[in-house]
Amino acid sequence: MTNTSRIGLAVLLSLGLAAPALADRAGPDWISIEQAVQKAKEAGYAEVTGIEADDGHWEAKGVKNGQVYEFHIDPKTGAITNEHLDD
């Protein structure tokens, strides 16, 4: 194996190992995922799905008034923010 091949392999391996560390995660002071779902249901959403931590908030999809929305949930207060119809 040449030095160039070794360097390339090392770069690829390091990128592969770094990917899980870059995944979004709930912060230690966030409401739980269960609490976030409950807050969404209290706001009129049914069938809350696909909830995950994303860019500093909970992100989810849900049905409200017969239409599918994508929305964000404030991770500390549980307030619904940035709701829009899902494309």
Q: 31-79: per-residue pLDDT in tens?
A: 999 999 999 999 999 999 999 999 999 999 999 999 999 999 999 999 9
Q: Hey, what are 74's tokens? A: 């404030």
Looking at residue 87, its pLDDT comes to 81
Distance CA 78, CA 68 (A): 19
Strand, coil or helix: what is 36? helix
Looking at residue 7, its pLDDT comes to 60
CATH architecture group of domain 25-85: Roll (3.10)
